[in-house]
Structure 1
Amino acid sequence: MTSTPNSLFRHYLNSLIQRGTTRASLTEEARDVLRTWYVTAKKGSRAHSPSSPSSPSPRPEPQPTKTPPPSTNPELFPEERKPSSSITLPEGTMEDKLQYLRDLAQNWKPARDLNSLRDTMVFATGNPHTQLMLIGEAPGYYEEVQREPFVGRAGEKLNQILKAMGLSRDMVYISNIVKFRPSLPNQRTNNRAPTPEEIEACLPIIMHEIQVIQPKMIIALGGTAAVGLLGEQGSVSSMRGRFHDLNGIPVRVTYHPSYLLRSDNPREKRKVWEDMLAVMERMGMPVSEKQRGYFLPRE
């Protein structure tokens, strides 16, 4: 099953909603595309409209009601999220294997063939000898400039979350599913979420990263990362609050740091912090009473 432009557009809008975006600007080119879709849909509607009363057509036989197909695209999001057999990791140290994946990702043909991603590759950062791996969706403007995941304001917010957990960036491993910044017409600092095709094209690289790191826990930052990793459709609010399984590794889904930048609501911050507390407890990390009380409403 091939994704349609409409489904990709809906996926993009859903990703904006999951990150807390309430307004989005459109270029003139985007408006032209939407007008084309609208006109095409109207023509299709007329083509299937009933005949006029002056020339009645035979009443069709009633058809049995069909159950609508599930929203998840089985080709884009297969149930088994396992490393592809098309990649064979070399012998050697963890660093050797990660360097191999870094070199492979630079010219990864499935991603390059899409012609929808920019050229600068942003791989990962942090300590590969860790028990905790954090995975986001794709690089943005600042990540592309610095060639490091989660920098800029979103990176600062993530650093604050890690510090509250008693961690730092050099104690965890941070990566993205898509290794290139998704492109837009006349792109400057504006970003977009990756499409299902872009996620699926880059998925083998991140799955092999996970295989190399072998973390005891994964935190999926944002709905796009969660959907890509787990192969499940849903919002962050519907997927957070519990642990998911990825080939035997527990995965905790939470909001992207950029979502917290758009919301000063302590209740939303508390939701993210409850996910972090659950991760800390699952990993056997010490949790103080002060940490348990972060972002709770004051009596």
Structure 2
Amino acid sequence: MTSTPNSLFRHYLDSLIQRGTTRASLTEEARDVLRTWYVTAKKGSRAHSPSSPSPRPEPQPTKTPPPSTNPELFPEERKPSSSITLPEGTMEDKLQYLRDLAQNWKPARDLNSLRDTMVFATGNPHTQLMLIGEAPGYYEEVQREPFVGRAGEKLNQILKAMGLSRDMVYISNIVKFRPSLPNQRTNNRAPTPEEIEACLPIIMHEIQVIQPKMIIALGGTAAVGLLGEQGSVSSMRGRFHDLNGIPVRVTYHPSYLLRSDNPREKRKVWEDMLAVMERMGMPVSEKQRGYFLPRE
């Protein structure tokens, strides 16, 4: 599926809503882009209105779209970039190489929209299950470890219910730096499509090194970044996707569950985890199958 500027923008707004963000700042450049889309949409609606005469088409000057509205920002194929050559050696050697590379990754640094502290990954690289989120937040930046704080605690609870722990899986993010905001303290934002695209080669090579049997994409931003498909979490979850031969299960970000006490929403996440467990051949008890089901 080819992404359009409008669909990328809608996805970005959806990701903010899923994380509980109610306000977002815009640069002047972003405002100009939105004004252009608005004017174009209004002209299009007038042109198709039955009560309006059809205007004669006028030649329009060709404009080069700004980088942030590149329609090919999320190509369908997700393969490791040839610009990175992994060294010979053990898995740990290769991950250390990627960690060092990510610290000063020029495509990310050149954006000037990410903070300086790099947060790489945690857990066991010799695992069959890899969990991938979008980007570190305040607590992750402080502790330099993905998925800590309240969202990390919720993820730990999910893993425990599966019979797993953090040291039995590998946990990472697509973007290795916390996205910045003006006068930023503890407030966070989701990474933009441009930030994800800049950092994508690192996570794709992580996947190549880990070679997991299963990937869980935590949240819509991570899912879109990894798979190159547009849609909300609700439209993408409930089935397995394919990433270079690796099954990917999309589910809600743990922070989403922190904002919802509805057992139905928790059950949706748990159904995704049950599907992962069954696909990986993990034992599933009747007690586990009954988690978050409505009581009769």
| TM-score past 0.5 threshold | yes
Match of 2:150 in 1: 153
Match of 1:287 in 2: 284
Q: Deviations over 1:76-111 (max 9, x none)?
A: 111110000000000000000000000000000000
Quick one: structure 1 residues 152 and 31, their matched pair in 2 at CA, closer, same or farther if it must change by over 3 Å? farther
Shift of 1:13: 1.2
- Distance between the aligned counterparts of 2:129 and 2:265, measured in 1? 23
Q: Does the CA contact (< 8 Å) of 2:95 and 2:209 recur in 1? A: yes
Q: Deviations over 1:142-174 (max 9, x none)?
A: 000000000000000000000000000000000
- Distance between the aligned counterparts of 1:221 and 1:47, measured in 2? 42
Which one is further off, 10-19 or 280-289? Answer: 10-19
Q: Does the CA contact (< 8 Å) of 1:124 and 1:176 recur in 2? A: yes
Q: Deviations over 1:248-292 (max 9, x none)?
A: 000000000000000000000000000000000000000000000
Shift of 1:11: 3.6
Match of 2:35 in 1: 35
Q: Does the CA contact (< 8 Å) of 2:117 and 2:141 recur in 1? A: yes
- Distance between the aligned counterparts of 1:201 and 1:292, measured in 2? 40
Q: Does the CA contact (< 8 Å) of 2:156 and 2:165 recur in 1? A: yes
Quick one: structure 1 residues 40 and 161, their matched pair in 2 at CA, closer, same or farther if it must change by over 3 Å? same
Quick one: structure 1 residues 15 and 61, their matched pair in 2 at CA, closer, same or farther if it must change by over 3 Å? closer
TM-score by length of 1: 0.84
Q: For structure 2, which runs of at least 5 residues remain unmatched after alignment?
A: none
Q: Does the CA contact (< 8 Å) of 1:131 and 1:172 recur in 2? A: yes
SS at match of 1:134: strand
Q: Does the CA contact (< 8 Å) of 1:19 and 1:255 recur in 2? A: no
Q: Deviations over 1:13-69 (max 9, x none)?
A: 111234465676899999999899989999999999xxx999999856999999999
Which one is further off, 20-29 or 88-97? Answer: 20-29
Q: For structure 1, which runs of at least 5 residues remain unmatched after alignment?
A: none
Quick one: structure 1 residues 177 and 65, their matched pair in 2 at CA, closer, same or farther if it must change by over 3 Å? closer
Quick one: structure 1 residues 99 and 59, their matched pair in 2 at CA, closer, same or farther if it must change by over 3 Å? closer
Quick one: structure 1 residues 118 and 43, their matched pair in 2 at CA, closer, same or farther if it must change by over 3 Å? farther
Q: Does the CA contact (< 8 Å) of 1:137 and 1:224 recur in 2? A: yes
Quick one: structure 1 residues 240 and 72, their matched pair in 2 at CA, closer, same or farther if it must change by over 3 Å? farther
Question: Which protein shows a greater Rg?
Answer: 1
Shift of 1:12: 2.6
